[in-house]
A and B are shown apart, each in its own frame.
Chain A
Amino acid sequence: MHELAVCQALIEQVERVARDNAARRIVSITVSVGPLSGVEPQLLEHAYPLAAAGTVAEVARLVVVTVPVRVRCRACKAETEAASNRLLCGSCNDWHVDVIAGEEMLLQRVEIETADEPVH
């Protein structure tokens, strides 16, 4: 269950964003996760409240965008989706493929509530 450690790292990054932008609280956090990152989106969602408790992100909504695995075939150049344990070209079935998506574990966006009304 390393998703708790991942959430703790996420909260540290979000706290930095909150400090830098004088946020009074975090409204939402958007992350993108691919199956090849080794992180399970559902476990991430379960672990998140434990890591967020008592922090500036305590009531923030966690949005996990899952990114499918995609491979590019070196033989036929096709770009297709693949399962994590079957990284084969979906077009010609060759295993000489490069992974072009599905490895990411990224913090994409943080929605904050700032301390004051903006000055116009």
Chain B
Amino acid sequence: MCRDCGCSLGPAATRAPFAAQPAGKGHIESIEVITAILDENDRVAAHNRTHFDGHGVLAINLMSSPGSGKTSLLEATIRALAGELKIAVIEGDLATENDAARIRACGVPAIQITTGNACHLDAQMVHDALHDLPLDGIDVLFVENVGNLVCPASFDLGVHRNLTLLSVPEGDDKPAKYPVMFRAADLTLITKVDLLPHIEEFSVARARDSLRHVGFRGDVIELTRRGGPGFDAWLGWLRSEIAARRAAAA
């Protein structure tokens, strides 16, 4: 993907150490800089976005707690759209290939990023994964972030849309507890709504209020991966995003 920018050698080369010298008689100078600390991440993210746009791919980042149903949602989505849309997935986890194996079992390409102890994906990790994932003919690329409601929110991956999942067993006050992530999203999916009759503590109205109070301005879709009107609304959202992207590219 990276013939032009010279990054086709793969992961960023390690830098030579640049150590401090002992304090001397030099003079002290104060330099105003004013740059985003994550400037380099943002640069790589922009590069990823250019790559997605060049292939006409809609890229979507999925963020949530562990166990809120990201991989299950992807499995159900891939099955529902088989023959209609070509999907690829980048999976992020601390360890194991389990999720990528589940996605591959649905018949679509999946790359697993194992982050070791890193709590989030960053633009460089996605970039490196893209070297192993041909995007020709792909309509949608899902990036399933590390299950974590804190850290992934700070790193732009170069995707077009950010989604958060909030599952019913987690409680309706998750947006109030983790405002940065829910605010950053373009769409919130309230998942596992088939459990609502069993978990009376969860109020969809309270969850929606909580989302509004953290500044979330996107749509909220209530669904279960088992199908139904909410799941259809999710597929509808996806189709309309793809149509909008194609119209913009034409």
Interface residues of A (CB under 8 A from B): 1-2, 5-6, 9-10, 12-13, 15, 17-19, 21, 23-27, 31, 35-39, 54-59, 84-88, 95, 97, 99, 105-118
The winner among B20, B27, B177, B213 for most chain A CB atoms within 10 A is B20
State the Cβ distance, B148 to closest chain A Cβ, in Å.
9
Bound together, the chains give a CA A97 to CA B35 distance in angstroms of 26
Contact: A84 with B19, CB < 8 Å? Answer: no
The winner among A21, A97, A99, A106 for most chain B CB atoms within 10 A is A106
A9 contact from B15, B34, B41, B214, Cβ within 8 A? B41
Contact: A56 with B20, CB < 8 Å? Answer: yes
Bound together, the chains give a CA A106 to CA B179 distance in angstroms of 20
Contact: B26 with A117, CB < 8 Å? Answer: yes
Contact: A37 with B180, CB < 8 Å? Answer: yes
State the Cβ distance, A50 to closest chain B Cβ, in Å.
13
Chain A residues, Cβ within 8 Å of B39: 9, 13
Q: Which of B143-174 contact A (CB under 8 A)?
A: 150-151, 153-155
Bound together, the chains give a CA A110 to CA B29 distance in angstroms of 8
Contact: A113 with B28, CB < 8 Å? Answer: yes
Q: Which of B1-25 contact A (CB under 8 A)?
A: 15, 17-25
